[in-house]
Amino acid sequence: MTNIQPDDATYLAQQVAKGAVSPDELLDEALARVAAMNPALNAVVLMQEQTARDAIKAGLPDGPFRGVPFLIKDLGAEAIDFPSHSGSNLLENTKYTYDSEIYRRMRATGVVTFGRTTSPEGGVGPVTESAVYGGPTRNPWDVSRTSGGSSGGSGAAVAAGIVPMAHGSDGGGSVRIPASSSGLFGFKATRARFPDGPAAGEGWAGMAIDGFLSRSVRDNAAMMDACAGPDKGAPYAAPAMEMSYRDAIARPPRRLRIAVCDTSFTGAAIDPECKAAVDATAKTLESLGHTVFPGCPDADHDGMMRAWTRIVACGTASWILNTLAAKGREMQQGDLMGVARSAVSFAQGISGADYLNDVNKIHAYGRQMAAAFDTCDIILSATLAEPPAEVGRFSHDRDDYENYRVGAGGVFEYSPFCAAFNASGQPAASVPLHWTESGLPVGVHLAAPFGDDATLIALCAELEQATPWAHRRPAMLTDYLA
């Protein structure tokens, strides 16, 4: 059924509800697209077609996405029916005895989940190039480029039109980086907006959160509404929203004060294409009646990123050492790639007191970033300092975890914006508003005060209406549909 166009999930669910297409037919088409495009992308893994067919036969929940094909990231989202590698040979074919709360809530929307999407080992990195998948995940807009990380498989799958929306997670930009790299919309909600249980109370000292990559703002809004709220026993919860995400996008936001940063937050120059994306968006916002002015948040960005790097090293060491203990053996050749292996070594030099000091630094940074919104309502920047990187540039086959993150030419120089809002817990989004002359997507980044998700997503919806992007498709998908 290649005549089914890659419309958003809301549209496809409407077609199912009208009887114009069946869930089985949509799944057939999604599987056909996997067969056609996944060999070039390496984005969709661990497919469970029979599980999906059985779910359709049993009767799907009557949610907002009933019958729509869906994929979950191969990291987190634990589910009995979906084994996982979590991007690592050490965790290959892990089977779960429980369904995570986030998966339960996604399933209740009526989606037809049929597989997982690739992630880097342990979710660390702005690219998705894990040995367990036999090679890197590539970008549908240019297969020599990365689709981003750590939700890079989800980014590639949605950009290629395999599914209209996919699950991701974001601990340092891992939804927004693939959104920017793949020409999609990605939203990181306020800290603790979604459940982490039962496997965890929080991820990376509260910096990690689930999220979604989509072609439309409305799809993301509806899925976030369905998943929002703490689970039983959560250590803390996000403040209640003044309205739902869907209600927020039904009306334009009030006219806002928008601070525009067309450098990195530390003042370093960014790629001219990324600067052009910021400048053009600022003009669009001004034309919509918002007040636009230069401004970058005054905070200890370098100190935050070093604290982030140490906290994530400890988190990486924790899952690796716990896995080895559960297996009852020492680390073996081929268990881990270099970045994860060196993160364990790096973490061994961090004491408990050091770790708590780093958490305190993150909290202090959150207060600095809160103060940054005293004079504005929104901070606008690029999502990345460059267009999507070439495959191999941030390979995990290197034994220098700290330098990989914060050294010269490292991840923080490439992605200097996203982790700031994981550390602060504030909501942030990447919006696909620019493409380079060579056809590479470049996202713009918008962030709002803690808890003000409604204003942020309303502004994203207003930009979507003012500068639509749904018509843009990579040649790979256009050729498939021809």
- How far apart (Å, rounded) are the C-alpha atoms in residues 63 and 243? 19
Helix (H) or strand (E) run with residue 257 in it: strand 257-260
Token pair recorded at residue 374: 């005293």
Here the contacts of 227-232 (C-beta below 8 Å, separation 24 or greater) are 227/102, 227/105, 227/106, 227/194, 227/195, 228/189, 228/193, 228/194, 229/194, 229/195, 230/192, 230/195, 231/101, 231/195, 231/196, 231/197, 231/198, 232/197
Token pair recorded at residue 310: 């140490």
Tell me which DSSP letter residue 90 carries: G
Tabulate helix, strand, coil % of the chain (nearest 5).
40, 15, 45
- How far apart (Å, rounded) are the C-alpha atoms in residues 152 and 82? 19
Cβ neighbours for 437, distance < 8 A, ≥ 6 positions apart: none
- How far apart (Å, rounded) are the C-alpha atoms in residues 163 and 457? 22
What residues pair up with 379 in beta bridges, in sequence order?
A: 259, 447
Q: Is 174 a catalytic residue?
A: yes
What residues pair up with 445 in beta bridges, in sequence order?
A: 381, 430
- How far apart (Å, rounded) are the C-alpha atoms in residues 286 and 298? 23
Measure the CA angle with vertex 191, ends 206 and 382; round to 5°: 105
Is 424 in contact with 173 (CB distance < 8 Å)? no
150 prior amide bond cis, ω within 30: yes
Interstrand relation of 257-260 and 291-294 (parallel, antiparallel or unpaired): parallel
Q: Is 73 a catalytic residue?
A: yes
Q: Kindly name the residue from 86, 130, 147, 150 that is annotated as catalytic.
A: 150
Q: Is 150 a catalytic residue?
A: yes
Q: Kindly name the residue from 174, 180, 214, 430 that is annotated as catalytic.
A: 174
What residues pair up with 79 in beta bridges, in sequence order?
A: 82
Work out the number of other CB atoms within 10 angstroms of the CB of residue 412: 24
- How far apart (Å, rounded) are the C-alpha atoms in residues 149 and 169? 10
Q: Which residues are catalytic?
A: 73, 150, 174
